[in-house]
Amino acid sequence: MIAMSEEKNQDFAAYLEKMKGRKALSRVHSKHQDIGLAVAEILEDKKHVALYMKIAKTEGDILLAMAKSVAENKNIKNRGAYFMSLWHKYRGNETDNDKGQRKRKAPKSGS
């Protein structure tokens, strides 16, 4: 009975090692994913990798160049936020930063 639980522990340890090996492998399969991942690393903003990948689908090269220029400035504390503010200005919607929410219409006045 003891030998069986010891065997299970060894199997579990081997499984954990296998999962660690998988984690180290890259899951990048296309150019926009690679660019998005590179931008997240440059900006030190791993939390928003998916956002950068989504933007990179249409504007990958510009995105990468902007991220590099932001990273060069050492005075910026939150590179991701600063980058997004520049991105909104570049896209021409600097005042429309409502995070995807719909604009509410004013209530109709009158009877």
What is the pLDDT tens value at each position of the chain, 111 positions in all?
Answer: 455 577 777 888 888 888 777 767 667 778 888 899 899 999 999 999 999 999 999 888 889 889 999 999 888 889 999 999 999 998 887 555 555 555 566 667 665
Q: Work out the angle at residue 61's Cα, subtended by the Cα atoms of residues 25 and 50, and round it to the nearest 5 degrees.
A: 45
> CA distances (Å), 74 to each of 15, 50, 84, 104, in order?
42, 25, 17, 39
CB under 8 Å to 86, separation ≥6 — which residues? 66, 70
Cα torsion 24, 45, 43, 78: sign: negative
- Alpha-carbon radius of gyration of the chain: 23
- The predicted pLDDT at position 1 comes to 47
Domain ranges of the chain: 24-91
